[in-house]
Structure 1
Amino acid sequence: MLRRLCVHTAAMIAAASFAPAAHAQPAPEAEFAITSEVPTLAELDAQVRLLVATPAPDAVKAAQLEGGSRAVVVPKMVYRIGFFRPPRGSSAVTGPETHDGDRHTAIINASRQGAPTVRIEAEWRRIDGRWKLASKSLCNGIKTLGLPIPCNFE
């Protein structure tokens, strides 16, 4: 009886230790924005990972896209399929890069198990001081991946 009481008490303490706080802070991705004059590859990579490798809310993903909420269907589908996130795949933004005022380009490399790496030439546009993945880049991705999504958010 005493042993059961000790085990039960230990389990309750452990559960309380790992319980979320009543006033949890918002998730860090909720405030993600690239606002630098010229975005870095690390910033662009973090944005792409937020879009395709996390279950971030639609509003968070929409804030990263030129097409806003109309374009969220693309990263949501890529996330659900799971091609470019662990454990089946990954993504990385690499050069070569170009920069011209409010436009920046780089390459999104997406890999999945058993398939060759997909390279998508991507463009970001600075809109209201924030770098957002351009709609034409999403359309390139739709075409490259063969997704059944109409590209009607440009």
Structure 2
Amino acid sequence: MFKQMAVAAGMVVAVAASAISGAPAAHAAPDFDENFAITSDVPTLSDLDAQIRLLVGTPAPDWVKAAQLEGGNRAVIAPKMVYRIGFFRPPRGSSLVTGPETHEPDRHTAVINASRQGAPTIQINAEWRRIDGRWKVASKSLCNGIKTLGLPIPCNFG
């Protein structure tokens, strides 16, 4: 109980300090949309880019990330590890989804370009699958990313 009160008091102080300084309040709102979904017939590069940033550039909860992945909960470990390591998120890294693209009714491909300070840009040919009306990162694309980055994760969520 005391710990909860201390946390609440700390948040009040942070919000008050933020209001005085004009800086945005810490923890005012999450930096991700928990309801994010790509539901259009053809995903745009902007949609795909936002999805990748949600996966590897935010601290979104597992259930939010699982909803973006063909492998669901089994596959969350990959983007979660990439986020924790901080490879492709500011301030030292970034990612951008670009073409060339291909499109079929339930399959779409594009290129994920990921970079981090002091290292060359990595390009991953990625695939998305349309499952239950939502575009999700295909498990084989996660496996390609895991292999490319040399992460110690078994690719058994396909």
Alignment TM-score, normalising by the size of structure 1 = 0.84
Shift of 1:101: 1.2
Determine the structure 2 residue equivalent to 1:145: 149
Could you list the runs of 5+ residues in structure 1 that have no partner in the other structure? 1-10
Query: 2:71 matched to which residue of 1?
Result: 67
Q: Distance in 2 between matches of 1:38 and 1:77?
A: 29
Residue 15 (structure 1) aligned with residue 19 (structure 2) = no
Corresponding residue SS for 1:90: strand
Query: Are 1:119 and 2:123 matched, yes or no?
Result: yes
Distance 1:52 1:26 in 2: 15
Q: Per-residue CA shift, 1:8-38, capped at 9, x if unaligned?
A: xxx98x72985x8xxx988751110000000
**TM-score normalized by the length of structure 2:** 0.82
Q: What is the aligned residue count?
A: 139
Contact 2:110 2:127 in 1 (8 A): yes
Among residues 38, 43, 48, which one is paired with 1:44 in the alignment? Answer: 48
> Is there any run of 5+ residues in structure 2 with no aligned partner, and where?
1-11, 20-24
Give RMSD over aligned pairs. Answer: 2.2
Instruction: Return the match for 1:91 from 75, 85, 95.
Output: 95
Distance 1:42 1:35 in 2: 13
Point out 4+ residue stretches in structure 1 off by more than 4 angstroms.
24-28
- Larger Rg: 1 or 2? 1
Among 66, 79, 85, the alignment partner of 1:81 is 85
Structure 1 pair 31–144 and aligned structure 2 pair: CA distance change class (3 A) = same
Cα deviation 1:20-58 (Å, max 9, x = unaligned): 8xxx98875111000000000000000000000000000
Seq. identity, %: 79
